[in-house]
Amino acid sequence: MLDFWASWCGPCRKENPHVVAAYNTFKDKGFTVFGVSLDRDSQKEAWIKAIKDDGLDQWTHVSDLKFWSNEAALKYGVTGIPQNYLIDPSGKIIAKNLRGEQLHKTLEALLK
């Protein structure tokens, strides 16, 4: 799952426990998360702290610290966060903006 978020984003931080729970449940079935932060350069320390505080340090995180001009966010047309894309092993987007229980149920159906 490609997960766009930021340390300053309240809804993102509220969603993070659901992402962690999904990761812990399905990581042994091939599910992983790639986090892309839309933080600014001045928020680098807050971003790193949020990763640790929210238990997101189990998967890879990147950020160019360019806020809404983040290269990946521009490529994917991200205009709001949290936003995520569930990508199959071939690279095809198979779902997007899965949150909470919906994320868990979708993964459960796909990774039987």
Per-residue pLDDT for the chain (112 aa), expressed as one digit of tens each?
A: 999 999 999 999 999 999 999 999 999 999 999 999 999 999 999 999 999 999 999 999 999 999 999 999 999 999 999 999 999 999 999 999 999 999 999 999 999 8
Angle at 36 between CA 5 and CA 15, to 5 degrees: 30
Query: Which architecture, in CATH terms, is 2-110?
Result: 3-Layer(aba) Sandwich (3.40)
Residue ranges per domain, the chain? Answer: 2-110
